[in-house]
Structure 1
C-alpha cells in the first residue's frame, strides 16, 4: 500500500528530485529536520520511531509510511523489560512494514539520507539500493570515546549496548558502501578510517541543533547562579523530576529552572508538592518551602544561562557539556538513563559529567561541591568543550546531500 499523502507520480526531468530522510529517535529527528531545512530540495521523511514531530517545522515535507510507537521510546535493548514491551507492541511486524514504506519512499528520490544507528542504516541501504540512488549516513550516536577505559568486564556488562559503543562489522560494511559518512567527533572518524571507511567529522550534531535562547530568564534568576534541571524527553522524567526538585529545594543559593519538554499533565512531583500553571509555557512547582519555575519551550535559554545542571537526558546532557556546563546525573529505572547508559555517557563526556546516587541529598551535595570548586568546574568545562566539539556539521552535510542529489 502506498503511504497516504506521498506523491509517487513520476518526477519531471526538469524538477528537483526529493531527498528521503530516514531517522530513528528524538535526537535523530531533530538533526534530520534541521538538515532538511538547509536543503534546496523537496523533502520526504521516514521516522522509524515515533511520529517525527521535529519535521513539522520543515516547509512542504511529506512523511513516508506508518508510525511506530514503542513503549521503550526507541530503546528496545535498553533492558529485557523494554524489549518485551516493544515486541508486544508489534515491533517486528511494524518494522518490516516500515522497510517496505522506505523502499517506496525512495522511488523518484535523488538521495537517501540516514540519520541514526546501524538499524536505520540497514533500512536506508535497502531503500537506496532498490532505487539506485546515493546514500549518505549521518551517525550521531557512536563515539570512539565510549571505548575509553572500557574493560573486558565492563564490556560484558554492557552487551545489550555493544552496538551502541562501537560500530559492528556489518555496520562498517554498510557504511563503506555509502556515498558519504559523517560521524560525531574526530576520534570516531579516525576509528572508521582505520577500518577502511572514509568517514568525515565536520562538527557536532548536538550543538548544531541546540536552540538559541528563546526568552529572557532574568525575572526567575534574580542574579543568582543558575541550576538547570533537565529531566529529558524520555519517560525517565517520571522518576527523575521529583528527585531533581527535592535536590533544588536544598540549594537556595542557586536559581533552579526546569526545562520541560512535555505537557503539564505529565509533570510528576514529590509527595505534597503542587503545580501552579501560569500559562502554556510557565508553571511553578511548589513545595519544600520553594517555588521552582517549570518552563516549556525554553531549553535553549536555560542551557545557555546555566552554571551547572542536573540531567537525565541523552543529547541535552551533551549539549550542556558542549557549552562548558558541568552536568550531574543519576541512573533511573529507564527506559533510557539506566546505569549502563550513565556509565556510557560518563565515558563520552569525561569530567564534564559526574554520576551520583539517585537521592536528593547526594545530588545537592555534588552540585554544591561543583559550585564551590572553581578548578574542578574549569576542568569539567574544558572536557565538555573538547569532547563534544563546536557546531557546524549540518551545513557541510547539506552541501554534500545537495551534490549527491544533483549528481
Structure 2
C-alpha cells in the first residue's frame, strides 16, 4: 500500500494501542522514551500505566470481568459478553481510527486482536505501523504435542501465531518479538521480526528501597499477581510460608490494602501506605506495596501466580514455584503454557501449602536444581534492552521522510 509521509516541524503525535496490564506497562515505558505528544487507546481497562507519562487517552474504557482473558475459560467469556464485550469493542475500533488522525505512527503493544485494531487505524490514516508482540513465544510449543494442543484449543492463538496474525504482521513496518526463538519462527514464516531484548526485563523496576533483611536467611518472594487470582492464591501462599520459619517471606503486593484476602484466623496490621504485616499460624509476613523491584532482586526463590512477575523473577535467575487458580488469569492452561515457556525455571505444583512448602525446601537444599532453574530463566527470557531500540525505530518511521511515497 502507498502512503504519503510528510514530516512535521515538531514531532508528530504517536498513538499507542495496547490490551492488557503488562502491555500497558510496556507501552508506557516505551512512550516515556519518545519526544512529543503521546496518545493511547487501551483496549482492556483504563491503561493506568500511561498516567506516569504525559499522555492523552483516546476512546472509551472497557472494563472486563475477565481482566482481559475472555478465552481463559467459558465463564470468563460469558461474563465479558454480558458486560458488553462486542458492542463496546466495536466502538473502540472507531475510537482508534479517530485517535490516529494527525499522528506520525501507530504502535501496537499486544496480541493479534490489538494488531487488527492498529492495522485498521494505521491504514485508514496512512501511517507507519509498529507491532510489539510481548505475548507469543515459540517456546510455548515446547513439548506441547497434538494431545496438548487439543486440550488447549481455547488458547490456540496464544500458543502460536495464526495465519491472519502473520499476514497482518507482514504488513507492519516493524515487528518486535519477545525472544530469539520467536524471531526465528516469525522469519521462517515471512515476517521480518526482530528480537532486541526482553520486554519483561525492560520494565522491571530498580530496587525502590532498602528491605532491611536478615543476611543469613533465604528470601521467599510471594507473587499473587495483579489479576483477581490473588484472592484465591494469597491465602495459599501465606499458609505455605508459615510452614517455612527458616526463610524470610515477602509479599510483593500490587493492590490496595482493602483487597487483601487472608486465611481464616489471620490478621492484617497496616503500618503505612507501603507496608503491612499479616500474622497467623505462628508466622509474621510483610506485605510491601511499590517495592516489586526490591523484592524481586532480593529473592532466592519465589511462589507466584502471575504472568509477567513470574517471568521477571525467572529472568533474574530465581526459581519460581507456581500453582493454578480458578482464574481469571492463572488457570491450569495458563500455568502449563508458562511452564513450557520457562522450562526448568518454573515448577507447577498443586495448590496445597504443604506441597508448596516442601518444594521450596527441596529447591533451597539443591544447588544443582537452583543452577538449572537459573540457567533456564536467563536463557529463555533473555536480557533487557529492547525499548530504546524500538523507540529509535518509531521515531525513524514517524519522521524520516518528507513528501515521499512509500
Contact 1:203–1:390 (8 Å) recurs in 2: yes
Question: Is 1:16 the counterpart of 2:19 in the alignment?
Answer: no
Which residue number corresponds to residue 334 of structure 1? 327
Q: Are 2:18 and 1:33 aligned?
A: no
Q: Deviations over 1:277-306 (max 9, x none)?
A: 000010011101111000100100000000
In the alignment, which residue of structure 2 is the partner of 1:8? none
- 2:232 paired with 1:239: yes
Please name the residue that 1:378 is paired with: 371
Q: 2:404 aligns to what?
A: none
Deviations 1:346-387 (A, max 9, x none): 000000000111010000000000000000000000000000
For 1:395, which of 347, 372, 388 is the aligned residue?
Answer: 388
1:184 aligns with 2:196: no
Distance in 2 (alpha carbons) for counterparts of 1:45 and 1:183 = 21
Alignment correspondent of 2:302: 309
Q: Tell me if structure 2 keeps the 8 A contact 1:356–1:363.
A: yes
**Residue 182 of structure 1 contacts residue 202 of structure 1 at CA under 8 Å; is this kept in 2?**
yes
Q: 1:174 aligns with which of 158, 168, 177?
A: 168
How far has the Cα of 1:15 moved from its partner?
Answer: 2.8
- Hey, what's the Cα distance between the residues in 1 that align with 2:282 and 2:106? 54
Is 1:351 the counterpart of 2:344? The answer is yes
1:278 matches 2:271: yes
Deviates more, 1:287-296 or 1:221-230: 221-230
Q: Distance in 1 between matches of 2:10 and 2:184?
A: 39
| 1:42 Cα offset (Å) | 1.4
Query: 2-side partners of 1:227 and 1:148: how far apart?
Result: 28
CA contact (8 A) 1:41 1:402 kept: no
User: Does 2:69 align with 1:75?
Assistant: yes
Runs of 4+ in 1 over 6 A off after TM superposition: none
TM-aligned CA deviation for residue 12 of structure 1: 10
Q: Tell me which residue corresponds to 2:90.
A: 96
Pick the aligned partner of 1:52 from 47, 70, 76: 47
Aligned residue pairs total 395
Distance 1:30 1:158 in 2: 27
> Among 244, 247, 261, which residue is 1:251 paired with?
244
Contact 2:105 2:397 (8 Å CA) reproduced:
yes
**Structure 2: how far apart are the matches of 1:37 and 1:204?**
17
Counterpart position of 1:64: 58
Deviations 1:90-109 (A, max 9, x none): 00000000000000000000
Q: Report if the CA contact (8 A) 1:235-1:335 is conserved.
A: yes
TM-score, scaled to structure 2: 0.96
* Contact 2:10 2:36 (8 Å CA) reproduced: no
Shift of 1:404: 0.6
Q: Say which SS state the counterpart of residue 393 (structure 2) adopts.
A: helix
Alpha-carbon separation, structure 2, partners of 1:56 and 1:333: 31
In 1: Cα distance, 2:15 partner to 2:136 partner: 22
Of the three residues 362, 365, 369, the one matched with 1:369 is: 362
Helix, strand or coil for the counterpart of 2:369? helix
Contact 2:46–2:61 (Cα < 8 Å) also in 1: yes
Paired with 2:359 and 2:380, the residues of 1 have a C-alpha distance of 22
Specify every segment of 5 or more residues in structure 1 that has no aligned partner in the other structure, as ranges: 1-10
- What's 2:202 paired with? 208
Judging changes above 3 Å, is the alpha-carbon distance between structure 1 residues 58 and 351 closer, same or farther for their aligned structure 2 residues? same
**Cα deviation code 1:59-98 (max 9, x no counterpart):** 2x10011000000000000000000000000000000000
CA shift, 1:13, in A, is 4.2
User: Does the 8 Å CA contact 2:324/2:350 hold for their aligned counterparts?
Assistant: yes
Contact 2:225–2:309 (CA under 8 A) maintained in structure 1: yes
- Structure 2, unmatched stretches of 5+, are 1-5, 401-406
